[in-house]
Amino acid sequence: MTTMISISNTGAEWMALVKMAQFLVECPIDVAIQYTDDERPILLEALERICDHTPDDAQGSSIYSVLFSVAECGLLQKLIAWFDDELLRMAPYLERLNPAGLVEKYEQVSKLKRTFYYATQEKAEKIGRSGDDSKEC
């Protein structure tokens, strides 16, 4: 049985995560993180699930919950961390173009990082307390 983790975010945060993935696809190969052939379909499935569980106009503060496998959570966390690193790298340039937009991106990335971190930590603690070492996390 696969361990699933429920993660809740606002529609705006979910759409920010999807846009991070779009940015990754559009990046030059030397800047983008590399996913293995095994990881790509897992990441795509997670992104499709986000899009399936949030309406097209999900830019507001409504909360949407999505279930992910532990592997999907790990790959999405990898994407978020990469985007955070890119924001830091490009901050001097982006700050001149749109300071408010940069602050908004930082806030979204921080919220996503915290949400995924706490959700995965909570699941790991529950599995640890149950004494079931056969489940991933």
Q: What is the pLDDT of residues 72-114, one digit of tens each?
A: 999 999 999 999 999 999 999 999 999 999 999 999 999 999 9
pLDDT for 59 beyond 50:
yes
Q: Is residue 8, in this structure, part of any structural domain at all? A: yes
Q: How confident is the model at residue 123 (pLDDT cuts 50, 70, 90)?
A: confident
pLDDT, tens only, 21-32: 988 888 877 777
Q: Is residue 135, in this structure, part of any structural domain at all? A: no
Q: Is residue 99, in this structure, part of any structural domain at all? A: yes
> String of b and e for 78-93 (b: at least 16 CB within 10 Å)?
ebbebbbebbeeeeee
Work out how many domains the chain is built from and give that number: 1
Residue among 83, 102, 76 nearest 91 (CA): 102
pLDDT for 43 beyond 80:
yes
Domain, as residue range, for 80: 4-130
**In the chain, pLDDT over 90 holds for what percent of residues?**
54
Q: Is residue 22, in this structure, part of any structural domain at all? A: yes
pTM score, whole prediction = 0.83
C-beta neighbour count of 54 within 10 angstroms? 23
Residue 98 has what pLDDT? 93
Q: Is residue 97, in this structure, part of any structural domain at all? A: yes
Q: Is residue 79, in this structure, part of any structural domain at all? A: yes
Radius of gyration, CA atoms only, the chain: 16
Q: Is residue 136, in this structure, part of any structural domain at all? A: no
Q: Is residue 61, in this structure, part of any structural domain at all? A: yes
